Amino acid sequence: MSNIRFSNVLNAKLQETPPIWLMRQAGRYHRHYQSLRKEHSFMELCKNPKLAAQVALGPMEDFDFDVAILFSDLLFPLEALGMGLKYDESGPHLGWQLSKENWGKLKSVEQAIPSLQFQHEAMKETRLKLPENKSLIGFVGGPWTLFTYAVQGEHGGSLIEAKKDFEIFNDFSKILVPLLIENIKLQFAGGAELVMIFDTAAGELAPSIFQENVLPTLETLASTFPKKLGYYSKGTNHSHLKTFAQNKTPWAGLGIDHRWDMAAELNTHSQGFLQGNFDQALLFSSPRDFKTILMKYLEPIRRLDSAKRSSWVCGLGHGVLPKTPEENVKCFVDTVREVFR
């Protein structure tokens, strides 16, 4: 049970029409999600498998994406480690911030993993209700991004506290990476065809520091699940990701944000998929102008030889933003299929 377009990309088969999925395609912009949130908390939507499946299936029905995504949150491994977690209108909040002084409060991997079983069940429930011609993927947060949340309570800005002492990151990774491995196993066992690593804080690091400290943790994950994981990082560039271009790690593919030239990258890409990368903010354009803006983005990609385009998973540079007009999301999907039919 999988989407033929997505399967073709994963297996390097030639095709004209790319598969389409968007980060945060099930979220606050969508009336289906909003109606469920009137009756349930965000935590309930994530941790109740039937509700999580409802949220994930909503955009599949309304926008006909090729791929559904587990509805969850990347911070749950930190909650499983005993850091506490709650959500309110301002976002997520951990119960305490990680430091050398409170290191001993963390649970072991064996103690933590039962707390993530709900993702396995949510994946199973979503796959059960998802049409057979649609694919299903999972996700976890990247080790560096989760570390920034653990230390600072957020993943944006200068990240001064997180950058002060990489010895803490290296020690934390000895617990976190094995937990993520078990977390990913749960998602695959539930029916995921691919699991994405979302590393939204990676671009805040200098390339050399990323290469020295963060890349080894990512290589451990990729090597544990060869050709089964995708990696997306926000704000990174070729200097950060040169080992991906050199095919030195066994990733299934790479997601890039809207700061990259997708046509240029597809033209030189040699292995795995490339996912992205239309600027999500442009979805706020007036419906009258949106299709023209989208067509300008698509034209350089359209001019490529179809063999070059076959590795493309069409999406955004990051996630769908709150209050994004639904009609533009529908126009995005329909226009891409129209252009590459």
pLDDT in 10s for each residue of the chain, 341 residues: 899 999 999 999 999 999 999 999 999 999 999 999 999 999 999 999 999 999 999 999 999 999 999 999 999 999 999 999 999 888 899 999 998 888 889 999 999 999 999 999 999 999 999 999 999 999 999 999 999 999 998 776 788 888 988 889 999 999 999 999 999 999 999 999 999 999 999 999 999 999 999 999 999 999 999 999 999 999 999 999 987 766 666 899 999 999 999 999 999 987 899 999 999 999 999 999 999 999 999 999 999 999 999 999 999 999 999 999 999 999 999 999 999 98
3-state secondary structure the chain: CCCHHHHHHHCCCCCCCCCECCCCCCCCCCHHHHHHHCCCCHHHHHHCHHHHHHHHHHHHHHHCCCEEECCCCCCHHHHHHHHCCEEECCEEECCCCCCCCCHHHCCCHHHHHHHHHHHHHHHHHHHHHCCCCCEEEEEEECHHHHHHHHHHCCCCCCCHHHHCCHHHHHHHHHHHHHHHHHHHHHHHHHCCCEEEEEECCHHHCCHHHHHHHHHHHHHHHHHHCCCCEEEEECCCCCCCCHHHHCCCCCCCEEECCCCCCHHHHHHHCCCCEEEEEECHHHHHCCHHHHHHHHHHHHHHHHCCCHHHHCCEEEEECCCCCCCCCHHHHHHHHHHHHHHCC
* Cα 61 → chain centroid: 20
pTM for this entry = 0.96
Alpha-carbon distance of 54 to 298, in angstroms, equals: 32
Residues forming beta bridges with residue 254, ordered by sequence position: 231, 274
Instruction: Report helix angle 326-339 to 49-63, nearest 10.
Output: 60
CATH number of 4-339: 3.20.20.210
pLDDT score recorded for residue 247: 61
Contacts of 124 (CB under 8 A, 6+ apart): 49, 190, 191
Instruction: Write out the two tokens for 142.
Output: 């990247």
CA within 13 Å, CB half, 331:
19
Please give the radius of gyration of the chain, using alpha carbons only, rounded to the nearest integer: 19
Q: Which residues contact 264 (CB under 8 A, 6 or more apart)?
A: none
* Predicted local confidence at residue 189, as pLDDT: 98
> What are the backbone angles phi and psi of residue 166, rounded to the nearest 5°?
-75, -10
Distance from C-alpha of 137 to C-alpha of 141, rounded to nearest angstrom: 14
What's the rounded Cα separation, in Å, for the pair 98 and 83? 8
CA distance 115 to 241: 33
Largest CA distance in the chain: 58
> What pLDDT shows up at residue 248?
65
